[in-house]
């Protein structure tokens, strides 16, 4: 994977192996915040941002852990460092740019220890990406997540207007929609090789 | 929840059906969908999660009087991450093949909202024995839920159960069930069944109340 081009890494993370629809990462926010289009867009932005931060952090921590030869500390240190960095950025953002904070600030604490974030950090480590590859990978994953969330929100807004049986309402209907979306995304397989 | 009249058996049984983590609380969906493509993977994942639930519940419960309120979430995450790391290495020692099949999802047990949820909502307020029972009940409920999804996907997707073929060769496998979208469909199917039963229970209760009134 080391020699993979940046473009193919991006496409791979955003479409072919979409984090939500192919890896099932970040399912909770995917179902939780996908009922309105506007919130979905903001949430997507916030997740992309945290993914970028997490990717940079994870790269640095991995260098350090390799240096001291302690791979068994990986999980614990990833979680700790990523969540505290995000908290720090959140405070900075509140101070420097209240407008952006209001747009996506409330979602930040929700997603700091989301499995999509930790999953991204672990995948990029397992695949041995270098620094630029990691950043591109995190951007792709963020775009893919936002795309899935927005598509889902669009479908669910329409679904609300329809007459759905009581039994299927809520999570069950959302799951079926997600399954169909996931089938659609399988069509991207083989792209960008 | 932990009032005096709750018996230890209730503590265990509630995780199996009434508060089933996957089908009722809809927690821990990511691993439930991601590693349930075969029954074996589902079982292994369920057992690993149960172990982490048990150990973290016990530790949190034992340390509940020493952990300051302000730093509790961080401490819980530390405790959980420790046990997840040990499970990760344990599975690697038992079967490399299984470790490869489950991939990063063993490490991702640490962010399973179910575990942190139980630590926060139950183990931090109850005695170790009760926390253990609660963890065991939730873990077994989670394992069963995973197994249910995994069995459906494996039977339809590859015509086998635990790797043993059960259909004649002429059976056309539903490849879609092994693929990611199959996870969503299998989960939706079980949710429908559970919803149906729950709805009937509520209706039956209403009828009884109506008769009394």
For the stretch B35-51, pLDDT in tens is 888 888 899 999 999 99
Which residues are CB-contacts of A48 (< 8 A; sequence separation ≥ 6)?
A139, A142, A143, A145, A146
If one compares B75 and B5, the residue with the highest pLDDT of the two is B75
pTM of the model: 0.85
| CA-CA-CA-CA torsion sign (A108, A112, A113, A114) | positive
**A171 chain-B contacts, CB cut-off 8 A:** 26, 191
Per-residue pLDDT tens for A14-47? 888 888 888 888 887 788 777 788 888 888 888 8
Inter-chain residue contact A25 with B34, CB threshold 8 Å = yes
Q: How far apart are CA B54 and CA B15, in angstroms?
A: 13
> Which chain A residue shows the shortest CA-CA distance from B74?
A80
> Which chain A residue shows the shortest CA-CA distance from B83?
A76
Inter-chain residue contact A167 with B110, CB threshold 8 Å = no
The answer as to whether A129 is a domain residue is: yes
Alpha carbon separation from A125 to A57, A121, B160 (Å, rounded): 11, 6, 34
The answer as to whether A76 is a domain residue is: yes
Please name the helix (run of DSSP H) or strand (run of DSSP E) that holds residue B160, with its range, or none. strand B160-161
Q: How far apart are CA A104 and CA B83, in angstroms?
A: 33
Inter-chain residue contact B180 with A21, CB threshold 8 Å = yes
If one compares B208 and B47, the residue with the highest pLDDT of the two is B47
User: Of A114, A123, A186, which has the smallest distance from its Cβ to B104's Cβ?
Assistant: A123
Which residues are CB-contacts of A110 (< 8 A; sequence separation ≥ 6)?
A29
Inter-chain residue contact B111 with A79, CB threshold 8 Å = yes
The answer as to whether A121 is a domain residue is: yes
If one compares A153 and B158, the residue with the highest pLDDT of the two is A153
Look at chain A and report how many structural domains it folds into: 1
B136 touches chain A (CB under 8 A): no
The answer as to whether A175 is a domain residue is: yes
Residue B16 is encoded by which pair of tokens? 């199996």
Inter-chain residue contact A75 with B113, CB threshold 8 Å = no
What 8-state DSSP symbol labels residue A16?
I
The answer as to whether A143 is a domain residue is: yes
The answer as to whether A84 is a domain residue is: yes
Between helices A115-126 and A131-160, what is the axis angle to 10°? 150
The answer as to whether A190 is a domain residue is: no
Helix (H, G, I), strand (E, B) or coil at B66: coil
> What's the domain range around A12?
6-185
């Amino acid at each position: 994977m080391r020699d993979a081009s940046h473009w193919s890494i991006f496409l791979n993370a955003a479409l072919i192996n979409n984090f939500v629809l192919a890896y099932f990462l970040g399912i909770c926010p995917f179902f939780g915040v996908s009922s309105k289009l506007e919130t979905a867009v903001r949430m997507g932005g916030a997740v992309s941002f945290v993914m970028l931060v997490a990717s940079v952090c994870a790269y640095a921590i991995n260098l350090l852990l390799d240096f001291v030869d302690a791979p068994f500390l990986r999980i614990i240190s990833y979680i700790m460092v990523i969540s505290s960095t995000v908290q720090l950025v959140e405070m900075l953002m509140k101070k420097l740019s209240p407008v952006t904070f209001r747009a996506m600030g409330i979602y930040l604490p929700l997603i700091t220890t989301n499995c999509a974030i930790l999953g991204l950090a672990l995948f990029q480590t397992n695949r041995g990406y270098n620094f630029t590859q990691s950043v591109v990978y995190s951007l792709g994953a963020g775009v893919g997540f936002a795309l899935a969330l927005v598509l889902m929100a669009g479908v669910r807004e329409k679904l609300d207007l329809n007459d759905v049986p009581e039994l299927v309402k809520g999570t069950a209907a959302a799951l079926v929609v997600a399954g169909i979306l996931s089938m659609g995304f399988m069509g991207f397989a083989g792209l960008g090789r | 929840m932990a009032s005096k009249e709750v018996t230890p058996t209730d503590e265990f049984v509630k995780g199996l059906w009434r508060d089933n983590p996957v089908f009722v609380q809809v927690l821990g969906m990511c691993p439930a969908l991601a590693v349930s493509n075969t029954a074996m993977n589902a079982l292994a994942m369920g057992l690993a999660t149960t172990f982490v639930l048990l150990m973290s519940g016990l530790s949190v419960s034992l340390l509940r009087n020493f952990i300051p309120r302000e730093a509790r979430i961080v401490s819980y995450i530390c405790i959980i991450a420790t046990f997840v790391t040990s499970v990760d290495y344990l599975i690697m020692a038992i079967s490399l093949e299984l470790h490869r099949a489950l991939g990063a999802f063993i490490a991702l047990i640490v962010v399973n909202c179910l575990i942190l949820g139980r630590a926060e909502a139950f183990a931090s307020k109850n005695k170790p024995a009760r926390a253990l029972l609660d963890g065991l009940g939730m873990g077994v409920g989670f394992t069963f839920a995973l197994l249910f999804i995994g069995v459906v996907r494996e039977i339809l997707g590859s015509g086998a159960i635990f790797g043993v073929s059960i259909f004649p060769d002429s059976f056309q496998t539903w490849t879609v069930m092994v693929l990611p979208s199959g996870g969503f469909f299998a989960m939706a199917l079980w949710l429908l069944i559970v919803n149906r039963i729950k709805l009937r229970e509520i209706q039956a209760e209403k009828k009884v109340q109506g008769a009394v009134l």
